Amino acid sequence: MVTSTRNPFEVLLVSAFGIYCAASLIAFDRVATTVLRAFPEPWALVFLAAGLVACSITMSGIIRASTMKGVLYERAGLMALGGITFAYACWAIGNTGIRALAFALMLLAIAMSSVWRSVQISQARKTAMR
């Protein structure tokens, strides 16, 4: 059986991004970054909702890591989180320019680590299936 490693860094990173998305959805005008406020009208909220859903799916997969379904949930949530943070980084650079470089690099690091963990899960799953 493939199980999650329950890496504390991954759990805290996903939890923090999920909490940020939830707080930004609740109090958008006070919490959201200037990059999010520059999104077209409904898309910032759609982006935050998608981030919250991706983090929720990932966390439910991590919690249910002893089952194959849980591991697949974790992988699906991480792939979605990787895509969302990549899009957020691209929007930050495109909208704000070089001033958003540090923020965009952090988001790209989250995206790459999410995709990397998804690949690890896929490889471990293929090895376990043999």
- Total domain count, the chain: 1
Domain hosting 92: range is: 8-129
Q: Is residue 83 part of a domain?
A: yes
Q: Is residue 3 part of a domain?
A: no
pLDDT computed for residue 106 by the predictor: 92
pLDDT computed for residue 34 by the predictor: 81
* Cβ contacts of 16-22, under 8 Å, gap ≥ 24: 17/51, 17/55, 17/81, 17/85, 17/110, 18/51, 18/52, 18/55, 18/56, 18/59, 20/51, 21/48, 21/49, 21/51, 21/52, 21/55, 22/52
Averages of pLDDT over runs of 10 residues in the chain (130 residues) are: 65 92 91 82 89 95 85 93 94 88 92 92 81
Q: Is residue 33 part of a domain?
A: yes
Q: Is residue 31 part of a domain?
A: yes
pLDDT computed for residue 81 by the predictor: 95
Q: Is residue 14 part of a domain?
A: yes
pLDDT computed for residue 114 by the predictor: 92
Q: Is residue 67 part of a domain?
A: yes
Q: Is residue 1 part of a domain?
A: no
